[in-house]
């Protein structure tokens, strides 16, 4: 598999020059009229109009125009090399399928399994197919279509404008348009982390009851800074610790650091874990292993944020986490007193909605005021595993 991935990466890199020329021309032509309205919606009001709709999935080849190293990093990752193969080689896959009534021939083609182990796509003839792996658009959302974000996200102004030429007003309009078109940008920590949890926490009761394991507790920082890391946009010599454009002084001014970003990602990860588990609990139909696991996840996230974090801080106030405690503590107390009851699904769902708003608010922080968190040893320190680097380049030092 690794040799195959390397051959694919070499081939793809070989066609980059032609693709880049075509891509630049296409993007400039597609400039058309990117509205520069003064009444842009606030970020929290933007609701992506598209999900990972199969008919809009373009495939990672389209990303090569500008993201050669990012694609190569993906090709070397388990998202590309292992996730899909598990459906065909893992002994448990057939067991899960049998328990769910899925035909073995459909496991890797058109079952619910491909939602997380592959990228559903619509073929040229309109038939349902998949990209064999968790591809770019599985995480960042389907990009195609005339109103898709692919043709918008790298257009920095009038024909021929470079990123360094883009005005703040144009950038705000471009980002708003892309998010409305469904793009899950690296800067949008809340939405991107939610996409991670959509697969890394099995929120389908039937699948969980069929035997699908949840694995170890999913830690956002450890995963995002490890083998899925692909941050080369500003410096091709270094796979940066966090998304390079987030720390770009040209766009945001000085002061943003990788350390600050990790603090925010860590806390948002715990909040999204609680939100996801509350939503799953609201869908549970009975007291079983599935509901027990969701209750355990909620309690774990609450304990970490309320006790290990909030109570240990001496000078730093976290009003968002204080609000989280107010929202979730009554839910946990009711679960402790009365146990899980499917009739309480509205209670769980309402708490999930409030936690979502809290997570969105915290995700707007830059982390610079959270230095006291570093002394609590909660954030995984690294070094992180299997980080992709181009040939001949040393592993990143992970300087924060």
Distance between CA atoms of residues 5 and 13, nearest Å: 12
The residue ranges of every structural domain in the chain are 2-83+118-185, 186-400
pLDDT at position 128? 86
pLDDT at position 291? 95
Digit-coded pLDDT (tens) for 90-114: 989 989 999 999 998 899 988 899 9
What Å distances lie between residue 65 and 70, 149, 186, 229, 384, CA to CA? 11, 15, 18, 19, 28
pLDDT at 23 over 80: no
pLDDT at 139 over 60: yes
pLDDT at position 215? 60
pLDDT at 14 over 90: no
DSSP annotation of 124: T
- 3-state class of 215 per DSSP? coil
pLDDT at 39 over 50: no
Show contacts of 173-176: CB within 8 Å, 24+ apart. 173/34, 173/35, 173/36, 173/37, 173/40, 174/34, 176/40, 176/41, 176/43, 176/46
Among the residue ranges 244-248, 255-259, 358-362, the one predicted with the least confidence is 244-248
Distance between CA atoms of residues 93 and 75, nearest Å: 23
pLDDT at 20 over 50: no
A 10 A CB-CB count for 18 gives 9
pLDDT at position 43? 34
pLDDT at position 41? 37
- Of residues 396 and 132, the one with the higher pLDDT is 132
Which string of b and e fits 131-157 if b means at least 16 CB within 10 Å? Answer: bbbbbbbbbbbbbbbeebbbbbbbbbb
Digit-coded pLDDT (tens) for 386-400: 899 988 777 777 756
- Of residues 264 and 246, the one with the higher pLDDT is 264
Indicate the average pLDDT of the chain: 85
pLDDT at 195 over 70: yes
Provide the total of helices (H) and of strands (E) in the chain, helices listed first.
17, 2
Handedness of CA 125, 128, 132, 135 (dihedral sign): positive
pLDDT at position 305? 98
Distance between CA atoms of residues 140 and 376, nearest Å: 32
Written as one string, the DSSP assignment of 283-337 is: H--SSSHHHHHHHHHHHHHHIIIIIIIGGG-SS---HHHHHHHHHHHHHHHHHHH
Range among 22-31, 179-188, 245-254 with highest mean pLDDT value = 179-188
pLDDT at 301 over 90: yes
With bands split at pLDDT 50, 70 and 90, how would you rate the model's confidence at 383? confident
58, 143 in Cβ contact below 8 A? yes
pTM for the whole structure? 0.85
Pull the structure tokens for residue 358.
């809290």
Average pLDDT over residues 74-82: 95
pLDDT at position 216? 65
Could you tell me the end-to-end alpha-carbon distance of the chain, in angstroms, rounded to an integer?
34
Average pLDDT over residues 362-369: 95
207, 365 in Cβ contact below 8 A? no
Dihedral angle over CA of 27, 28, 30, 31, nearest 10 = 120
Digit-coded pLDDT (tens) for 336-351: 999 999 999 999 999 9
114, 106 in Cβ contact below 8 A? no
Distance between CA atoms of residues 186 and 179, nearest Å: 11
What share of the chain in percent tops pLDDT 70?
86
What is the chain's alpha carbon radius of gyration, rounded to the nearest angstrom?
A: 22
Strand ranges in the chain using DSSP code E only, listed in sequence order: 119-122, 128-131
pLDDT at position 79? 96
Distance between CA atoms of residues 207 and 227, nearest Å: 27
DSSP annotation of 375: G
- 3-state class of 129 per DSSP? strand
Place of tokens 């990228």: 119
DSSP annotation of 61: G
């Amino acid at each position: 598999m690794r040799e195959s991935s390397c051959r694919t990466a070499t081939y793809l890199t070989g066609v980059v020059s032609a693709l880049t020329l075509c891509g630049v021309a296409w993007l400039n032509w597609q400039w058309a009229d990117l509205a520069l309205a003064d009444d842009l919606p606030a970020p929290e009001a933007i609701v992506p109009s598209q999900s990972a709709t199969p008919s809009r999935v373009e495939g990672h080849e389209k990303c090569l125009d500008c993201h050669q190293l990012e694609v190569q990093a993906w090709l070397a990752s388990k998202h590309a090399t292992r996730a899909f193969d598990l459906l065909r080689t893992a002994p448990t896959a057939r067991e899960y399928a049998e328990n769910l009534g899925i035909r073995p021939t459909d496991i890797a083609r058109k079952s619910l399994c491909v939602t997380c182990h592959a990228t559903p796509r619509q073929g040229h003839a309109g038939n349902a197919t998949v990209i064999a792996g968790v591809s770019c658009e599985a995480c960042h959302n389907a990009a195609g279509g005339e109103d898709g974000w692919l043709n918008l996200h790298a257009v920095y102004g009038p024909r021929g404008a470079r990123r360094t030429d883009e005005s703040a007003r144009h950038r705000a309009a471009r980002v708003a348009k892309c998010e409305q078109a469904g793009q899950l940008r690296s800067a949008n920590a809340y939405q991107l982390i939610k996409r991670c949890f959509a697969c890394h926490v099995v929120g389908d009761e039937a699948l969980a009851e069929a035997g699908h394991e949840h694995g170890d507790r999913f830690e956002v920082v450890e995963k995002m800074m490890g083998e899925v890391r692909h941050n080369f946009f500003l410096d091709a010599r270094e796979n940066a610790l966090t998304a390079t454009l987030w720390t770009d002084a040209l766009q945001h001014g000085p002061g943003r650091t990788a350390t600050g970003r990790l603090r925010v990602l860590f806390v948002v990860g715990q909040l999204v874990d609680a939100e996801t588990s509350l939503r799953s609990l609201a869908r549970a139909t009975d007291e079983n292993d599935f509901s027990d696991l969701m209750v355990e996840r909620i309690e774990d996230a609450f304990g970490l944020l309320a006790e290990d974090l909030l109570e240990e801080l001496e000078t730093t106030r976290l009003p968002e986490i204080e609000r989280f405690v107010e929202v979730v503590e009554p839910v946990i107390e009711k679960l402790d007193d009365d146990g899980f009851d499917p009739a309480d699904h509205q209670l769980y769902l309402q708490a999930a909605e409030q936690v979502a708003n809290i997570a969105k608010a915290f995700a707007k922080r830059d982390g610079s005021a959270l230095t006291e968190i570093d002394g609590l040893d909660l954030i995984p320190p690294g070094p992180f595993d299997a980080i992709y680097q181009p040939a001949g380049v040393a592993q990143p030092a992970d300087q924060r």
